[in-house]
Structure 1
């Protein structure tokens, strides 16, 4: 029975089930001038470059060989700020290019591993049975910690002249990966023997795209009581799951229960868990939600600029709650 529960838990993290049918949502009707005034809305000034199939041997980890996809901005000068990105369950490092490429165009290097639950449903279920619920959650965080500690080895596999900033980074992720990222801000799974990854001074912020709401006894209303900002959470009014999160607002539990201070939440009208088929599950037959993606792109770039580049204009935008006016109510960015 315990193993059956593990399988059920894995199935709802990230890419395991379809959302509920949804009511009509407000479309994006803002003018072009209003939209291009949003920080990070347009692609950035750099040409994104990508290399796939890099590997790091990690014999001390459950994920003994970590496979990587790395984006970076061509011709960027100096050390490039780094984002570590954790994919959703049963997804992998290849299925978020529309987001990660945008970050690279704005001057960021993005390092995306494939975790033990990635590549396929069969591999995800096998490793969930092998390591258990909490074991798999910890293994994902251990992957990111290992990458953080081995940025020099990753840089050595990139083209000559590409330099990574090693002492300041943001951790980001989607769905299951969003919770993985939140662990580096203080989120914990379960209570007994829970391990927090918070406290590493290199992590200056967390981006959590559609993080989970409560799940059995593994993730619950106490999981984020010590999650300190800066954290950006994103969700949408169609971001539902019939088994666990029938109300999209449940994805805001981490934002609402964490201590106040540099806690930001983006809500987008008509955005589901996968932005149609633009992230995590490109094989879906749902229509792409391109306008929703532009809002996620923009808010996340503003966050990266504020905390990796100390951009005061971006920081002011995050605090201003002006996105709702600029988009005619299509997207709302709030701070607490």
Structure 2
């Protein structure tokens, strides 16, 4: 896959405040979109722990240049809000994250109006949710996954009817092998993917060794293997947790900086979503053909 910049000019508008009663901190979003085009599909993106609506520019800019309108909320766990591991609110932030995504989806029309003329340029029937790391678990819940309680009982269904497809990047695996730290601080990292029926692309790195699980990188493929079809898996052999630097160029936690890898992830997701939304399968077919003809550094499987 080419890592060249795309040609479409884009714009961003921020901050836009979204009603979120009882949250304690204003819910703000950033909207990034192509300058031209109509009937544009929408991606609501959930960031990883501690990030904000200003992160993940390499991904978001590429999606917008490919014709998507992208809405990024700043979740409560953002560094901007100063809520650390030991804050009593931390254990329930996973619920606030999902509520943030619901608030964005419920208020999408008003958000797009505040971003200019976008409300008249999008296709509200083609809305996806995408997330990275903790954001991938949040997105998975909106796609139909549930969270197991301490007794292994699945929680309530928190999916959203406006969402018809999605992508999970470095998504949390099953919780039976959480490390003691994760059990203490992140007990909600126990997803049940058996109910995640919506079409989704799962993206996993072959060298993503989490400090939260005693398993290896295959932990991040559970969302593919344990969910019902239709699903696809993009496996990147040398990818680590930020998969080349998804959150931004020269970001401190990027351990495998590779702009071409970031472009691969971005382009694979846009190709998958265009196919899932029935906007054309050429890019998705080309990506699958490139994987099949490649040297094994990345692969695509589907079920």
Query: Counterpart of 1:20?
Result: none
Distance in 2 between residues matched to 1:272 and 1:257, nearest whole Å = 22
Query: Counterpart of 2:297?
Result: 330
* SS in structure 1 at match of 2:194: coil
Query: Counterpart of 2:30?
Result: 69
Q: Give 2:112's match in structure 1, choosing from 155, 167, 173.
A: 155
Distance in 1 between residues matched to 2:156 and 2:101, nearest whole Å = 14
* SS in structure 2 at match of 1:68: strand
Query: Is 1:170 aligned to 2:131, yes or no?
Result: no
Distance in 2 between residues matched to 1:161 and 1:299, nearest whole Å = 25
Distance 1:63 1:207, change over 3 A: farther
Query: Counterpart of 1:23?
Result: none
Shift of 1:165: 2.7
Shift of 1:121: 8.2
Q: Give 1:57's match in structure 2, choosing from 14, 19, 37.
A: 19
**What number of residue pairs does the alignment pair up?**
288
Query: Counterpart of 1:265?
Result: 233
Distance in 1 between residues matched to 2:133 and 2:254, nearest whole Å = 20
Distance 1:293 1:277, change over 3 A: closer
* SS in structure 1 at match of 2:207: coil
Query: Counterpart of 2:88?
Result: 129
Query: Counterpart of 2:279?
Result: 310
Distance in 2 between residues matched to 1:234 and 1:66, nearest whole Å = 28
Query: Is 1:279 aligned to 2:247, yes or no?
Result: yes
Distance 1:42 1:270, change over 3 A: same
Unaligned runs of 5+ in 2: 176-182
* SS in structure 2 at match of 1:116: coil
The question of whether the paired residues in 2 share the 8 Å contact of 1:169 and 1:205 is answered with yes
Distance in 1 between residues matched to 2:70 and 2:230, nearest whole Å = 23
Query: Counterpart of 2:264?
Result: 295
TM-score computed with the length of structure 1 as normaliser: 0.77
Q: Can you list the C-alpha shifts for 1:88-122, whole angstroms capped at 9, x where unaligned?
A: 01111211000010000010000000011112583
Alignment of 1:88-237 (within 5 A): 88-120=48-80, 122-125=82-85, 129-130=88-89, 133=91, 135-160=92-117, 163-191=121-149, 192=153, 194-198=155-159, 200=161, 202-215=162-175, 216=183, 218-220=188-190, 223-237=192-206
The question of whether the paired residues in 2 share the 8 Å contact of 1:237 and 1:248 is answered with yes
Distance 1:144 1:302, change over 3 A: same
Tell me the C-alpha RMSD between the 2 structures.
2.5
Q: Can you list the C-alpha shifts for 1:176-206, whole angstroms capped at 9, x where unaligned?
A: 1001111122111124471222361x21101
Query: Counterpart of 1:16?
Result: none
Distance in 1 between residues matched to 2:12 and 2:217, nearest whole Å = 33
Distance in 1 between residues matched to 2:118 and 2:140, nearest whole Å = 32
Shift of 1:314: 4.2
Greater RCO (CA < 8 Å, at least 6 residues apart): 1
Unaligned runs of 5+ in 1: 1-34
Distance 1:293 1:177, change over 3 A: same
* SS in structure 1 at match of 2:157: coil
Shift of 1:166: 2.5
The question of whether the paired residues in 2 share the 8 Å contact of 1:322 and 1:333 is answered with no
